[in-house]
Amino acid sequence: MKNVVTRFAPSPTGRLHLGHAYSALLAHDHARAHDGIMLLRIEDIDPGRARSAHIDGIIEDLLWLGIEPDGEIAYQSERLALYAEALGRLKGLGLVYPCFCTRAGIAAEIAASVSAPHGPDGLVYPGTCRRLSVEERERRLRDEPHAWRLDVGKALEFPGESRGALSWHDSTAGEIIAHPERFGDVVLARKDAPTSYHLAVTVDDAAQGVTDVIRGTDLFASTDIHRLLQALLGLPTPHYHHHPLLTDGEGRRLAKRNGAPAIADLRGAGANPEELAANLRAGILPAGYSVAGA
């Protein structure tokens, strides 16, 4: 049997809150129950938001909760060459194109169009830069900042696995048929970062041998994109477990902006970590919080 490898992959844009702790405990416990390992991966590709002080804080919070990750901590900011290599392969296959659009330009184009399809992540990119002539593309590539987008239509026509019905398995929802086209042409490398969440997470889960991806249902739909990238890049598909999100008394998912308490605050207020972890495992949350749908 394959050894189980799980991971907890926070973006260091703040301290961990209860929702993160819940997710990390699930990943940790799944690994321990199967004699496997749990990796910690810091998803610090966002140059504007990632902070090293948050990274130290996240590690401290996990250890306080009794979650000791295995092996070396991986930092996405140190793995950019891997993502560049994957993007280079997709460029070589002709499945990505540079996008020079600004947010404002995209919004204006959508506002002026008759149909504005919505995908799981909001309005779908109208494909403006997909239609540029080769000459214009070459000229603008020389001196304009650009992102790289996946040509999803072309990717789904690409000979090989991606052409057939792609599916993946979720431990709760079962077999899922992927429909990555609902997202439109997603960004694989941003103007301000040489990768995007979708590309980095797909490359890393494969490179780190992750067998079981445990994360919140907010990322359920994104798995369709990851599945397509796996097919295009010849990477294995892990098992997925998308867990319900924790919500506050008003049914809002936990987030710092909604006033969710940070683990550090609970600790400062004298919470007992064993008790907190045991309660989270049992789905018992501090007063006013609940597990969505439970």
Binding footprint of ligand GLU on the chain (CB under 6 A): 9-11, 43, 201, 215, 219
From residue 80, how far is each of 58, 121, 125 by CA, in Å? Answer: 22, 24, 25
> Within 13 Å of residue 18, how many CA atoms lie on the same side as its CB?
29
Work out how close the CB of 171 gets to ligand GLU at its nearest, in angstroms, rounded to a whole number.
15
E strand map for 94-249: 96-99, 118-119, 122-123, 147-150, 167-170, 174-177, 187-189, 212-216, 239-243, 246-247
Closer Cβ to ligand GLU, 149 or 226, answer by number: 226
Q: Tokens 């890393």 map to which residue?
A: 204
Q: Is 91 a catalytic residue?
A: no
**Euclidean distance between CA atoms 251 and 242, whole angstroms:** 19
- Inter-residue contact 258 to 17 (CB < 8 Å): no
**Euclidean distance between CA atoms 152 and 232, whole angstroms:** 11
Among residues 2, 91, 154, 256, which one is catalytic? 256
- Inter-residue contact 264 to 57 (CB < 8 Å): yes
Closer Cβ to ligand GLU, 149 or 215, answer by number: 215
Work out how close the CB of 7 gets to ligand GLU at its nearest, in angstroms, rounded to a whole number.
7
Work out how close the CB of 278 gets to ligand GLU at its nearest, in angstroms, rounded to a whole number.
24
The β-bridge partners of 212 are 6, 239
Work out how close the CB of 8 gets to ligand GLU at its nearest, in angstroms, rounded to a whole number.
8
Closer Cβ to ligand GLU, 219 or 292, answer by number: 219
**Euclidean distance between CA atoms 136 and 133, whole angstroms:** 5
Closer Cβ to ligand GLU, 99 or 203, answer by number: 203
Closer Cβ to ligand GLU, 101 or 225, answer by number: 225
Closer Cβ to ligand GLU, 49 or 281, answer by number: 49
- Inter-residue contact 281 to 256 (CB < 8 Å): no
- Inter-residue contact 214 to 30 (CB < 8 Å): yes
Sign of CA dihedral 277, 282, 284, 285: positive
Work out how close the CB of 226 gets to ligand GLU at its nearest, in angstroms, rounded to a whole number.
8
Work out how close the CB of 238 gets to ligand GLU at its nearest, in angstroms, rounded to a whole number.
11
Q: Tokens 């439109």 map to which residue?
A: 184
CA dihedral 159, 162, 166, 171 (to 10 degrees): 140
- Tokens read off for 171: 């431990």
Q: Which residues are catalytic?
A: 256
